[in-house]
Amino acid sequence: MKILLILAWRNLWRKKRRTFITISSVLFATVLAITLMSMLSGMQEQMVSSIVRNTTGYLQIQDVMYHDEPSMDHALEYGDEVKKAVEQHRDYIEYTVPRIQGFSLAAKDMGSRGVMVKGIDPEMEDRMNGLSSNMVKGDMFGDGDEFAVIAEGLAGLLETEIGDSLVLLGQGFQGMTAVGTYRIGGIISFPVPEQNNTMVYLPLDQAQYFFAAPDRLTGLIIMVAEEEIVPELAEKLQEELDKEWYTVRTWEELMPDMLEAFKAREAQVAIFAWVLYIVVGFGIFGTIMTMLFERLREFGILLSIGLKRMQLAAICLIETILIGFAGVLAGVAAGFAIVYNLYINPVRLSGELGEVMLDMGIEPVISFSIAPGVFLYQGLVIFVLALIIGLYPVRKVFRLDMVSSSRK
C-alpha cells in the first residue's frame, strides 16, 4: 500500500498542469455550491430573524383564547403565576418583552384613521428590534412619559406634527370604551407601508389604562439566545402554567402561513441543490474523462510490463481521493473568504424586488450565512460526488485492452 501511495503521489505531480486542472474543477464546484447554498440559507435566516424580531418573538405566553379570538377581552393577567414560570427558566430566557395591543380609531381635527395601538416597554422593544433607531422626529418616551409616538406615514395621513394632540377611540377590556387624548412626542419611520401607516405607540402603563386592562398583556414575548431550545422551552413553560388559562406558542404556531411558505421554500431549495449537484457533477466528470483519455496509453504500458489491474485501479482511486480532498479543502477556504465578505457586506436590493421584500416585512438585502454546516455539508457532498465520479477510471482500468491502448 505504501508503494501505491507513493506512485499515486508522484503521478499527480508528474504532470502538474493536468493535476491543477482537475483540482480546479473540484475547487470551482465547491465554491459555487458553498456560495449559492450560503445565500439560500442566509436569506431564510434573515426572514426568520425579521419575523421573530419585528413581530412575534421566539415564544409568546398568551391567554388560551387570544390566538383564535385576538380581542382585548382575552388579554392575559400578568400576575405571579406567569412571572414565577418565567423566573424558573431564566437560564434559558435572554429577556422578555411585554406588550398590549389593539385596534382603535385615531382622529385629528376632521381626519380619522384605523390604527394599531401598541403599549410597549421602550427599553425591551429596543433590545428586541431597535425600535427607537427608526425615530425621525422627536423622542421615544421613557419612564413617566405620557405622550404617544406615531408612524411617519400615519402622521402624513392625519397631517399631524410633534406637539399636536391625537384622539384615540376603541374598545377596552370587557366592553369598556377606550378613549384618550395624547400629545404626539415622536414620529417613527418603518420600511413596511402597512406598519408605517397604522402604528401608534404608548407607554405600557398608559396603554393598559387606555384599554382599561391594568396588569394585563395581550402577549408576553420571550426571547432566547439559541433558537434550537425554543420547542423544549415552550414545553417546560407550559408545564408551569395552568393550561385552562394560559398557552405558550412558538413563532411557528403564531405564524402558520409563514411556516408553510418556509416548507415550500425548503422543497424548492432541495430541488435547486440537486440540479446544482448534477451540473457540478457533469463538470467534474468532463474534466476527469479528458484526463483519462490522455492516460490510456500510459495505462496500457503499465499493464503490459506487469502491473496488476487491481494495483492500477487502486492508484487511480488514491489519485481521485487526493485530488478530491485537495480541491474541496481549497474550495472551502476560497468559499469561506467569498461568503464572509458577502456576509459582512450584504447585497442591497432595489426596484420591484426590493419593494416586494419590504411588503413582506423583510429588509431588502441578500444575506449570506456563515454557519459551519454550510461549508461542511457542501464540502462533503462535493467530495463524495468527486469520489463517485472517480470510480469511472477504476472501472475503465478493469475493462482496458492493454494491447490497443498501448499503441495509441
pLDDT at 192: 75
Q: Which three cell numbers stand for residue 252?
A: 411557528
Q: For the chain, give the number of residues.
A: 408
Helix (H, G, I), strand (E, B) or coil at 69: coil
| Under 8 Å between Cβ of 146 and 117 | no
Confidence bin at 147 (pLDDT 50/70/90): very high
Helix (H) or strand (E) holding 178: strand 177-188
CA distance 368 to 300: 49
Block residue for cell numbers 503521478: 11
d(CA 61, CA 218): 9
pLDDT at 211: 93
3-state secondary structure 216-258: EECEEEEEECCHHHHHHHHHHHHHHCCCCCEEEEEHHHHCHHH
pLDDT score of 255: 81
Asked whether the beta carbons of 235 and 154 are under 8 A apart, the reply is: no
Q: pLDDT (tens digit, 9 = 90+) per residue, 18-53?
A: 778 888 888 888 888 888 888 888 877 777 777 788
What is the separation of C-alpha 56 from the centre of its chain, rounded to a whole number of angstroms? 15
Give the per-residue pLDDT at 32.
85
Question: What is d(CA 280, CA 29) in angstroms, rounded to the nearest whole number?
Answer: 6
Q: Please, which residues have CB within 8 angstroms of residue 370's CB and are 6 or more apart in sequence? A: 38, 336, 339, 340, 343
Per residue in 19-50, is it b (16+ CB within 10 Å) or e — as a string?
beebbebbbbbbbbbbbebbbbbbbbebbbeb
Whether the predicted pLDDT of 352 surpasses 60: yes
Residue range 193-212: average pLDDT? 91
Distance between CA atoms of 239 and 401, rounded to whole angstroms? 73
Gap between the Cα atoms of 163 and 18, Å rounded: 76
pLDDT higher than 60, residue 406: no
Q: What are 95-130's pLDDT values in tens digits?
A: 999 999 999 999 987 788 899 999 999 999 999 988
